Amino acid sequence: MKYRLIIRPEAAEELKDSFLWYELQSNGLGFEFFRSIDAAFTLINRSLLLYAEIYRNIRRALIRKFPFEIFYIIDNDKIIVLAVFHAKRNPKQWKERK
């Protein structure tokens, strides 16, 4: 079963900001970041329970090559992305998103 991916506005903003930051560092690096994020979304969709619950029903997927984490929940036929956080940010910030 394929699940519908919903990216919350806060997470979409984090993705955009991170893309722009990486592009400023090196031309094309933002697109490499997006490819890593897309690969993680694909893996989450294929194997919903691959990543453990870390807080209530929230799961965390780590991104390859970049120090980012995707926080998401599974709700019936949807994968809802709550946050795309840099691994060094305060983890308490994403807990407030539901």
Q: Which domain holds residue 59?
A: 4-95
In order, the DSSP letters of 18-71 are HHHHHHHHSTTHHHHHHHHHHHHHHHHHH-TTSSPEEETTEEEEEPSSSSEEEE
Domains identified in the chain, total number: 1
- The predicted model scores a pTM of 0.86
Reported as a single tens digit per residue, the pLDDT across 11-29 is: 999 999 999 999 999 999 9
| Token reading at 83 | 């946050």
In CATH, what number is assigned to the domain containing residue 51? 3.30.2310.20
pLDDT at 89: 65
Residue corresponding to tokens 């990216």: 7
Reported as a single tens digit per residue, the pLDDT across 45-67 is: 998 888 989 888 999 999 989 99
Q: At what angle do helices 9-25 and 29-46 cross, to 10 degrees?
A: 140
